[in-house]
Amino acid sequence: MKLFDRLANGWKLGKTSLITIKENPSLMVFPLISGLSLILVSLSFFSSGYVLFGEDIMALVADETAATSLNIMLYIMAFIFYLTNYFIIVFFNVGLVYCAKKILEGNEVTVGEGIRFAQTRMGAILAWSVLAATVGLILKSIQERAGALGGMITGIIGVVWGIATFFVVPVVAFEDVSPIEAVKRSASIMKEKWGESIGANFSFGIFSFLGILFIALPIGFLLGATIHPIVGVVVGILAFLLVQTAVSSANMVFLAAAYQHVNNEPTGHFDSDVLDDVFIPKK
């Protein structure tokens, strides 16, 4: 299949995902709560760092012994920060994928049910978050220590890791496996049925760009010109966040549909023929 055909399929899948979100707007609650939680976590970590070190941090860096202790402390804090963020993201994504699965199967579902389901998977979510945080911290350390070369290496590893873990969220949600097995399971699906996921994700990027260009910016400029610049900025930011929330939710709906299709389960409004072309069996 040619590149433009793949992108066209990705566009169709993106539209179907957004239609599903339009029909089930409550799904956007998950990334909204996740985003707000991440903001609160970031603020708490930054404030805690200032309380612990404050203006004395430069003096600690100048002292070689203290600097070593400081580096260890910073790595510990960074790991906890990564772990907390990954846990929050995966927790709400698991809840969203669960609700998407139910909707694709033709059932009604509430946000509360999704959250309660995610709570039943907290052990698996935490285990995966520990692995993801460890990998993230290692890549960050390589990037900082190896400069530009480290950036190239971590960039390549990051792409490979992203492909290998593409299906991790539904695997963590619906399969009773360890974090390592979750990566292997996700990677095996991609290895056996590698194909259009990149095209689909590219389409979601286009939807995000178009939403910002034709919704967030015009609303912000219009209100800024007719009412007050501050009103325009505030509403424009809110519109931007709404677009990002909708696209993020749609992306997870697509992931749920792709996982359902791989397992020969119902996929709602998604066209079976298009989903058949999403993944190309490896030769």
* pLDDT the model gives residue 62: 46
* pLDDT the model gives residue 61: 44
* pLDDT the model gives residue 50: 66
pTM for this one? Answer: 0.83
Domain coordinates of the chain in residue numbers?
3-276
Residue 130 has pLDDT above 60, yes or no: yes
Q: In whole angstroms, what is the distance from residue 270 CA to residue 254 CA? A: 9
Predicted confidence band of residue 88 (pLDDT cuts 50, 70, 90):
very high
> Which neighbouring-strand residues pair with 195?
279
Residue 197 has pLDDT above 80, yes or no: no
* pLDDT the model gives residue 267: 83
* Average pLDDT over every residue of 187-205: 65
* pLDDT the model gives residue 283: 47
Q: State the burial class of residue 199 (Cβ atoms within 10 Å of its Cβ: 0-12, 13-18, 19+).
A: buried
Residues of the chain with pLDDT > 90, as a percent, come to 35
* pLDDT the model gives residue 86: 94
* pLDDT the model gives residue 150: 72
* pLDDT the model gives residue 100: 96
What secondary structure does DSSP assign to 217-280, as a single string?
Answer: HHHHHHHHHHT-HHHHHHHHHHHHHHHHHHHHHHHHHHHHHHHHHHTT---TTS-HHHHHTTB-
Residue 215: in which H helix or E strand, if any?
none
Residue 128 has pLDDT above 90, yes or no: yes
Residue 3 has pLDDT above 60, yes or no: no
* Close Cβ partners of 15 (under 8 Å, ≥ 6 residues apart): none
Q: In whole angstroms, what is the distance from residue 252 CA to residue 230 CA? A: 33
* Average pLDDT over every residue of 71-97: 90
Predicted confidence band of residue 60 (pLDDT cuts 50, 70, 90):
very low
Residue 280 has pLDDT above 60, yes or no: no
* Average pLDDT over every residue of 24-43: 92
